[in-house]
Copies of this chain bind each other. A is one copy, B any other.
Amino acid sequence: MVDTVSASTIASEATTARGARASRAPRPATVSATPTIDVEWLGQYLLGTWAEARLESRRVTARPEMQRIEGLSLTEHRQRVFDQLHLLVEEGAVNKAFPKRLGGQDDHGGNIAGFEELVTADPSLQIKSGVQWGLFGAAVLHLGTAYHHDTFLPGIMSLEVPGAFAMTETGHGSDVASIGTTATYDIEAGEFVLNTPFRGAWKDYLGNAAVHGTAAVVFAQLVTRGVNHGVHAFYVPLRDVDGSFLEGIGGEDDGLKGGLNGIDNGRLHFSDVRVPRLNLLNRYGDVSEEGDYTSSIASPGRRFFTMLGTLVQGRVSLDGASTNAAKVALAIAITYGSQRRQFTAGSDTNEEVLLDYQKHQSRLIPRLATTYAASFAHEVLLTKFDAVFSGASDTDVDRQDLETLAAALKPLSTWHALDTLQEAREACGGAGFLAENRFTSLRADLDVYATFEGDNHVLLQLVAKRLLTDYSKKFAKADVGVLARYAVEQAADRTVNGTGLRRLAQNVTDHGSKARSVGQLRSPKVQRALLVDRVETMVAEVATRLRPANKASKKKAADLFNQNQNAMIEAARAHGELLQWEAFTDALATIDDPGTKTVLTWLRDLFGLGLIEKHAAWYLIHGRLSPQRAQAVSDYIVRLTARLRPHALDLVDAFGYGPEHLRAPIASGAEAERQNEARDYYRALRESGTAPTDEKAVKGSRG
């Protein structure tokens, strides 16, 4: 195993990230039959379509003044991040998403790619710039029209006008349609009058609201001529030049949070605050001087979702930033785990490197596989996002697909980042708990990624609803009998579309050969069939159980939905996992280098079989896997993990983060130096002949 490590290490010694990790112990160059990753190529490949934007952003995050300093006070941290936003403006890093005619670049994919790299400098910097340009600015851009672009965007782009995105209310988080703030049109004055009718309708958790924001895009129920046309967005000035609230506006500081304390989150409320009629961001709905409401989208429901859909980029970027944070965590933990020694096992004098322990491998390497899957899936999402927002493929269906994709992936990647940061933290023990080693701070900051920009569970329910809609469309013309029969067959025997899988299970029973069953499981077709089957079956099962809701009272229908809520969320999660697996598999098809392809195929297998193992009970209960085969999956995962261990360093080096991005002393090589010093000390002591004898040895000689 030592030889294979060496072979892959030497092969990639030339890459930047590798070169920067100076103190990795040199290992002799040996020839080995095991595959070797082309780390430089893989690194470039992982950068994806918007490689240049990512590298440009990484050059920015390499600047010390852009980076987090741990232990700052709330006030200091807020000020530092605010100053960093100005540096971003100076760097010209914030214009990509904006129109060319205003000095922007109309580069939507590149904008997000660069933006999500900011997380390695400081997640507060990522999110605060996201608030300013990705939410506040994007709302003006996407919900407003030419007047708003010309009037408001220049100040937003230059940070002359820091702003808040005032959507969420204390009483309404993910249920935006139910917010309480109203904007009532006053025909006489030609103005909208904004009001917060009760405490629960205060805008809350808004970045830039506590201190820096001098304006906001405020979401409110638009009322004109006695009719409520639903939620619309308004451009509202907040503070005057000396930072005092304008008349009718009040607020509070949200104070200290679990993380992201470089952002001044706060609350806002409005009492008869008047803005000109033109401050309605009127792309999807307008009010005339006379108070007549018009919209290009007749259905209020569709209009609402269209407006919110323009803000999908927040979810897209959280998916990417979370995956980047997981990459940083694994790069640190796997580097440390390759240097740190603990407990002697097979030797009297040499302690084992942590990553040579089976459990340590099982803690880190499967998470590395998931990180690769999330990374490839994110590239798919970003490509889709760019196609929609560049207008290249911007149909209703494209937008719906984009939103479903984002809603499916963002929960998985944000949770994965938290899980990985925590496991990496624990895998590094007490050293992992020191703030200087990054895990705890990143984890604290990323915690809220799981619930903002759409709570993860709420997003998964959106996905489930989409899956159910697709399912019912598929059977729109089928009579109830067929549908019911389909579902029963799904659950009981898989004779409709499950023949392939059924045969599979049969084979195992027939031969009982573990080698043979593992061989089949390595087939991407088999993995895909198992993953697809689970999604389809779960959706069919839920659809069948929900069927009576069509004819039930509203209350009974709601109860029925509620009784299937867990199953819906689980189906959506399975769908997201399938998307990640497909993205990983599609990526493999484009890799030419045989060594790289082999190792990444193992990694994809580890990811795919890991999903099947995680859901093994489902596969066993539904007769899709025999007990022998389920056991074979687990056994093979352990072997795959050990087989990937020699490639773990290459796999994290390919992420391309240098010491300036990792900034963790335990990943700096200091540990290897300490280990070498200790071993040298003991070796010299033994050779000197002055080493104390071990009591056990003394007794042994007496005996």
Residues of A within 8 A of B (CB): 70-71, 73-74, 168, 170-175, 178, 180, 184, 197-201, 204-205, 221, 223, 226-230, 254-259, 293, 300-301, 341-348, 351, 356-359, 362, 418, 422, 425-426, 429-436, 439-441, 443-444, 447-448, 450-452, 455-457, 554-559, 561-566, 569, 613, 616-617, 620-623, 627, 630-631, 638, 673-675, 677-678, 681, 692-696, 698
Contact = CB atoms under 8 A, between A and B. Distances in A.
Given A178-B351, A426-B450, A621-B631, 13 more contacts: A70-B256, A71-B73, A171-B675, A171-B678, A174-B342, A175-B342, A184-B692, A199-B677, A200-B675, A228-B695, A300-B695, A358-B566, A620-B620
A674 B173 contact: no
Nearest to A72: B73
Given A198-B674, A621-B631, A674-B171, A430 B451 contact: yes
Contact of A440 (B351, B444, B622): B444
Contact of A554 (B346, B351, B359, B557): B346
A623 B627 contact: yes
Contacts of A693: 226-228
A172 B342 contact: yes
Nearest to A441: B258
A562 B357 contact: yes
Q: Copies per complex?
A: 2
5 nearest CB pairs, A to B: A258-B440, A346-B558, A346-B555, A345-B558, A616-B617
B678 A201 contact: yes
Nearest to A199: B674
Contact of A200 (B557, B563, B677): B677
Contacts of A418: 422
A430 B204 contact: yes
A315 to B, nearest CB: 16
Contact of A677 (B198, B613, B674): B198
Nearest to A180: B678
B674 A436 contact: no
A255 B435 contact: yes
A587 B9 CA distance: 57
A345 B565 CA distance: 12
A598 to B, nearest CB: 23
28 contacts: A168-B430, A171-B678, A178-B343, A180-B678, A198-B681, A200-B675, A200-B678, A205-B430, A221-B692, A226-B693, A227-B698, A228-B693, A229-B695, A255-B434, A255-B436, A256-B434, A258-B425, A259-B440, A293-B695, A346-B557, A346-B558, A358-B566, A429-B455, A430-B448, A433-B448, A616-B617, A621-B630, A622-B627
B425 A447 contact: yes
A342 B432 CA distance: 38
Among A447, A557, A627, A675, the one with the most B-chain Cβ atoms within 10 Å of its Cβ is: A447
B429 A173 contact: yes
Contacts of A556: 346
Among A70, A184, A347, A451, the one with the most B-chain Cβ atoms within 10 Å of its Cβ is: A451
Given A258-B433, A362-B566, A674 B346 contact: no
B620 A630 contact: yes
A450 to B, nearest CB: 6
Mostly helix, strand, loop or mixed at chain A's interface? helix
Contacts of A257: 433-435, 440
Contacts of A564: 358
A486 to B, nearest CB: 20
A71 B436 CA distance: 19
Contacts of A199: 673-674, 677-678
Nearest to A569: B359
Nearest to A229: B695
Given A257-B435, A677-B199, A681-B198, A638 B566 contact: yes
A343 B465 CA distance: 15
A503 B433 CA distance: 49
Contacts of A171: 341, 674-675, 678
Among A200, A347, A444, A693, the one with the most B-chain Cβ atoms within 10 Å of its Cβ is: A200
A556 B345 CA distance: 10
Contacts of A566: 358-359, 362, 638
A291 to B, nearest CB: 12
A3 to B, nearest CB: 16
A61 B287 CA distance: 58
Nearest to A260: B433
A139 to B, nearest CB: 19
Contacts of A443: 258
Contacts of A450: 426
A692 B182 CA distance: 11
Given A258-B425, A447-B440, A621-B630, A226 B73 contact: no
Given A346-B559, A359-B565, A434-B254, A71 B74 contact: yes
A441 B447 CA distance: 12
A73 B73 contact: yes
Contacts of A223: 692
Nearest to A555: B346
Contacts of A229: 695
Contacts of A435: 255-258
A418 B201 CA distance: 32
B358 A258 contact: no
A344 B74 contact: no
A434 B447 CA distance: 11
A300 B440 CA distance: 39
Nearest to A440: B258
A437 to B, nearest CB: 9
B440 A426 contact: no
A6 to B, nearest CB: 19
A258 B678 contact: no
A357 B694 CA distance: 64
Contact of A630 (B456, B457, B617, B675): B617
